[in-house]
Amino acid sequence: MTKTTEVIKKAKDGTYYFRANIGVDERTGKRVQKRRSGFKTMREAKTAYRDLMANGVKEGSTDQITFGDFCQQFFIPWYEGHVKKATFDSRVSVFRKQFKGFNKYFINKITPVDIQKWQIMMKSQVSNSYTRLVQCLLSLVFDRAIVLGFCEENPTKIVGNLKKEKKKVDFWTKAEFEKVISLMDLNDYYQRFNFTTIWLLFMTGARIGEATALQWEDVDFKAGTIRINKTLYYLNAFNYEFTSPKTRASARTVPLDKKTLEYLSEWKEIQASEVKTDFVLSYNGVPTTRGSLSQVINVYSKAANVHRIRVHALRHSHASLLISIGENPLIIKERLGHEDIQTTLGTYGHLYPNSNFETAQHLNGLVDFTPADHSVVVPTRNQFTGKKHITGAISVPATGNTEEKSQETPV
């Protein structure tokens, strides 16, 4: 323990002063210091120091922890074991960048007002969808703190997340796709590789990680299918690994059209003449990357005078193509590897703008019948109009009795 005499200092003018650490701010976790000066004697300074220490901040006990320390000691190690490596690596940067404003606050002292201010700040700087994602991660931190006894409530849930905005699904139409691939020289090795890659993504709807993970053993030329059972986590040409698909439904077998099988067969032969590799989408022996394919799309979309799309939009393009030819949504769900039909319809339902009118056209003339040329039910008088109306009494032919009989049937 620090002695009082070690804290008291003598100033140049002969008076005494001290600087005291009186505790920890219960909100930020920072050390609180107070400075007093102008005491004529050492005794006066000592008395003031003892009084200040006796009445100082006494909170910030050992059962509290700052947000930053909780993330480093408890949450991040736990989170790493519950998500894929690629997901974890991308999320760690979020903790370091987007949550740093909370790091010095005790986690149980962060209020809904703090979250509201942070949410408004985030929305002013980044997109609505990214803010929603980051707040979901922030909510996970507080949920874990509650489980471990560091918090009693989750302030992010009190505030609520931003309303989800429906994003427009971007894609290439069939005509735009045709313009792009028409500019590729299939006699050039590298352009042939780019053509094969873009064609495969457009005609299968595979995610980029699924496509770049494809091995030649996954292509069944006899059955006419490709097997998607893994995704590629790529860091660099010498550091990559296979991981499990995004969801259980993502593991699937996708039937291929004859033209796609033909292009794959040709590419396999061309590729083998240049490099030895098990990767389908490789021109140099290592798997291709999203970045290189994005650059190809940039160059050719500009040359073809069509709007630029992201790599993932080739997956949307495949779905759009299937919808344009009237494919059943359940088939689209299976090809894309969606977990449920709600995901498919929620993402692509707006691409069916005229489907209701088309249904009406399909119903037109579907039911065929010939009206009866005489009444087969007994008409009765309606008490409101005084006219005879059908009530459901069916006439029964007479069988040797001139008296008409009727049988009531339920409506």
For the chain, which residues make up each domain, given as ranges? 4-54, 67-159, 174-351
Helix, strand, coil fractions of the chain, as percent rounded to 5: 45, 15, 35
Can you tell me the mean pLDDT for 279-288? Answer: 93
Is residue 201 over pLDDT 80?
yes
Among candidates 221, 235, 346, 331, which has minimal Cα distance to 290?
A: 235
57-61, 106-110, 267-271, 327-331, range with greatest mean pLDDT: 267-271
pTM, to two decimals: 0.61
Q: What mean pLDDT, rounded, does the chain reach?
A: 83
Give the pLDDT confidence score for residue 55 in this predicted structure.
65
pLDDT: which is higher, 274 or 92: 274
Give the pLDDT confidence score for residue 352 in this predicted structure.
60
Can you tell me the mean pLDDT for 215-233? Answer: 94
> Measured between alpha carbons, how far is 267 from 273 in angstroms, rounded to an integer?
10
> Measured between alpha carbons, how far is 87 from 291 in angstroms, rounded to an integer?
18
Q: In which band, very low, low, confident or very high, does the pLDDT at 361 lie, cut at 50, 70 and 90? A: low
> Measured between alpha carbons, how far is 245 from 229 in angstroms, rounded to an integer?
6
Percentage of residues in the chain with pLDDT exceeding 90?
43
Given the candidates 3.30.10.20, 3.40.190.10, 2.40.110.10, 1.10.150.130, the CATH classification of the domain at 67-159 is 1.10.150.130
Can you tell me the mean pLDDT for 251-263? Answer: 94
CA dihedral for 89, 93, 99, 103, sign (positive or negative): positive
Among candidates 240, 234, 228, which has minimal Cα distance to 337?
A: 228
Domain 67-159 matches domain 174-351 at the CATH topology level: no
Among candidates 161, 132, 147, which has minimal Cα distance to 79?
A: 147
pLDDT digits (tens, 9 = 90+) for 73-127: 899 989 988 888 878 888 888 888 899 899 999 999 999 999 999 999 998 898 8
Partnered with residue 377 across adjacent β-strands are 394
CATH fold of 174-351 reads: hpI Integrase; Chain A (1.10.443)
Query: Quick check: 158 and 112 in contact, CB under 8 A?
Result: yes
